[in-house]
Amino acid sequence: MLDDRKAAILRAVVEEYIETAQPVGSASVARVPGLSVSSATVRNEMGALERDGYLAQPHTSAGRIPTDKGYRFFVDSLTPTGRLDASQNQQVRTFFNRAHGELERMLSDTSRFLAGLTDYAAVVVRDAEDPARIRSVQLVVLAPRVVLAVVVLASGAIEKRTLELAEDADEMVVGAASARLASHLVGEIFGTSLRLPDSEVPDVDRVVAAAVRSLLPGEEPEYQPQVFIGGAARMAAAFDAVGTIRQVLGILEQQYVLVSLVKDVLDRGLTVAIGGELGVQPLSDCSIVVAPYEIEGEPAGTVGILGPTRMHYEQTLAAVAVVSRRLGQALSKGSEER
Amino acid sequence: MLDDRKAAILRAVVEEYIETAQPVGSASVARVPGLSVSSATVRNEMGALERDGYLAQPHTSAGRIPTDKGYRFFVDSLTPTGRLDASQNQQVRTFFNRAHGELERMLSDTSRFLAGLTDYAAVVVRDAEDPARIRSVQLVVLAPRVVLAVVVLASGAIEKRTLELAEDADEMVVGAASARLASHLVGEIFGTSLRLPDSEVPDVDRVVAAAVRSLLPGEEPEYQPQVFIGGAARMAAAFDAVGTIRQVLGILEQQYVLVSLVKDVLDRGLTVAIGGELGVQPLSDCSIVVAPYEIEGEPAGTVGILGPTRMHYEQTLAAVAVVSRRLGQALSKGSEER
DNA sequence: GCTGGCACTCAACGATACCGAGTGCCAAGG
DNA sequence: CCTTGGCACTCGGTATCGTTGAGTGCCAGC
């Protein structure tokens, strides 16, 4: 599709534009070692690249900047074996050695860590359909008519639901209900439609039913993917235009947009989505890099980076890949090889 | 300290500046109804107000803008009976009628709601020293050497700690430890140094000890106040200068700064802290408005707003006051009067 | 087919002038 | 003595206008 020289020139333009954020002229491309042609030749080629939609000119007599298509070519031509540099690798190692603790905190910490590692905004999405087995179910009375249902999943996640009863709860009844739930639900897959037979005590059954109902998927608004965002402020550093900053931050607060965005990209089988490919106008100057993470071999969520289209793709790809893998490992067992 | 006319003029300047973000000239102040003096008189008075440090001039031949001291006077002179307007009141009502669910989600939703209500960034801090009684303690085995300790507090909050054992856990041992913890700790105040006597089984005691240790204050990094921030993007809309936006967003991400800031303001017995009063340079163009909320009559956290110094103090004060009160009520029982 | 050369374009920058909002001060008036 | 209209003055903001220079497109020659 693109001959070698065009590809090399395009790569050079993208790389320089990523570094400088300035339109790239033919002269500086011609200076790139390994490409021994004159600036005039480069100009001709760049003209062709522009006709083919890989480059654009902000105005006549300015250098070229990559289009989404240009970035796409650049990203696709990256060697898939991106490596982190030594210091970053060290950071990853220390972070995951030190990081303990419970699932949500881990995800939240990871989002912050990843943001610091890449210097872009990081997103960690925990899939709602955590297909984890239930390790424990318990009902706790908080107030006369308020009962908290606490479910511990094998992943270490905790699901909790507040139930409000129609009448004052009897400790004994709740205790019995709790026991019934535990004996029937432990070992089941959370989120599937759980069902258990009636006992002989209607009072108990009522509480049990209320608890089961609250645990059904979609029943409670809280049953949606959890999103952890780290380093949103870095998006403010990535752009100069106040308008862009506002738009991007606005999107970052609409978590459902982010979630569907991330899902979408993964569904399309991509790792990177660039500018317009995101299909969200306010993010037309942004790209995202995503990678799913797995717990015990099961997909459990996604790690991603949101940055400007002119981000450092190679390093970001490597960072996201490494972090998603390590995160999965860290969550799969208490400790892996450490 | 300030005679009536000076006070009226100062108030007029602050109000107009809050609306327009433009330096206020003597002419527009003179037009304010109720203040029937000429612009020349206003000029004289404004000169005096400037000498006294209530107003400042960006440059000669521009209008005046309030200093922190000016805002302070303005805020202190507000009638403490600020009321929300009807539509906002309606919003509050619907939000708290609809809002259910478990503590953390409630706090997080509240922060977002409050941000939307006021159009500034909202902060909800849940005090770490939740002096709530323990309602339930349970150990759950997640992996051979990993045990999750789940503590349910009377407030509905859930504390969870991951324990890593030196050797593979025996279900029986963990069960026994869980039972011992439950029987000794339920009813105690969480966060106090909990202690319980040895049993006859050393294995069990080891697990119990590990669990108790992980629950001690300060022991785990997760033992810190939780912060929920809503509407951070609105700070980007509140300022024009990109530099300011970046600084403010940067601070918003350093949650510990926010927490100590909020604590500090409350400790000084204030409801509002303005610009330099915050003692954080990057926030010199910001003010915060805070109010503690109480669960069952006990202080349990803080609700706050971070906005530009030129924020609508009256409405914001009212909003923060109402929301903190309603939040406390909503958390105090499952349902209060509804 | 590449390259040096050249005319051309146009954003960015700086100098200059102008405008007008706003001030400080003063002298006259109640 | 305080207030007020008047007036000269200041100075940031905006518009105008060259100038500059990076960068282009094209062409003729190697």
| DSSP-derived secondary structure for A181-224 | HHHHHTTSBTTS-------S-HHHHHHHHHHHHHHSTTTSTT-S
| For residues A229-251, average pLDDT | 94
- Among the listed residues A278, A247, A254, the one whose alpha carbon sits nearest the alpha carbon of residue A264: A278
Whether the CB of A225 is below 8 Å from some CB of chain B: the reply is no
**Which residues make up the interface with nucleic strand D when CB must lie under 7 A?**
A 22-28, 39-40, 43-44, 46-47, 50, 57, 60-64; B 5, 36-41, 44, 58-62
Which residues is A287 bridged to in the sheet? Answer: A274, A307
DSSP H or E run through A335: none
Whether pLDDT at B204 is above 90: no
Task: Label residue A220 by pLDDT band (50, 70, 90).
Answer: very low
Q: Token pair for residue A49? A: 């690249």
- Chain B CB contacts of A145 below 8 Å: 334-335
- Would the Cβ of A284 be found within 7 angstroms of any atom in strand C? no
Q: For the ranges A309-313, B66-70, B165-169, which has the lowest average pLDDT? A: B165-169
Q: Write the Ramachandran bin of A269: left for phi over 0, alpha for psi from -120 to 50, otherwise beta.
A: left
CA distances from B318 to A63, A136, B158, B275 (A): 54, 44, 31, 20
* Confidence (pLDDT) at A131: 63
Whether pLDDT at B338 is above 70: no
Residues A7/A66, Cβ–Cβ less than 8 Å: no
More confident residue, B331 or B10: B10
- Among the listed residues A230, A202, A271, the one whose alpha carbon sits nearest the alpha carbon of residue A124: A230
Residues B185/B194, Cβ–Cβ less than 8 Å: yes
CA distance A92 to A98: 10
Tell me the average pLDDT of chain B.
88
- Among the listed residues A169, A171, A178, the one whose alpha carbon sits nearest the alpha carbon of residue A199: A178
Task: Label residue A338 by pLDDT band (50, 70, 90).
Answer: very low
CA distance B146 to B162: 7
Q: Which residue is nearest to nucleotide D13 (CA to C1')?
A: B62
Residue spans of beta strands (DSSP E) within chain B: 55-56, 65-66, 121-126, 134-143, 146-153, 158-164, 226-230, 272-274, 286-295, 298-308
Whether pLDDT at B336 is above 70: no
Whether residues B101 and A162 touch (CB distance < 8 A) is answered with: yes
Render B278-311 in DSSP notation, one character per residue: G--GGGTTEEEEEEEEEETTEEEEEEEEEEETTS
The SS3 of residue A230 is strand
* Interatomic separation, CA of residue B174 and C1' of nucleotide C13, rounded (Å): 75
Task: Label residue B34 by pLDDT band (50, 70, 90).
Answer: confident
Count A/B contacts: CB-CB distance under 8 Å: 127
- Among the listed residues B259, B244, B310, B279, the one whose alpha carbon sits nearest the alpha carbon of residue B66: B310
CA distance, residue A35 to nearest chain B CA (Å): 39
Whether the CB of A83 is below 8 Å from some CB of chain B: the reply is no
Whether residues A100 and B236 touch (CB distance < 8 A) is answered with: no
| For residues A134-151, average pLDDT | 85
Q: Which nucleotide is nearest to A43 (CA to C1')?
A: D24
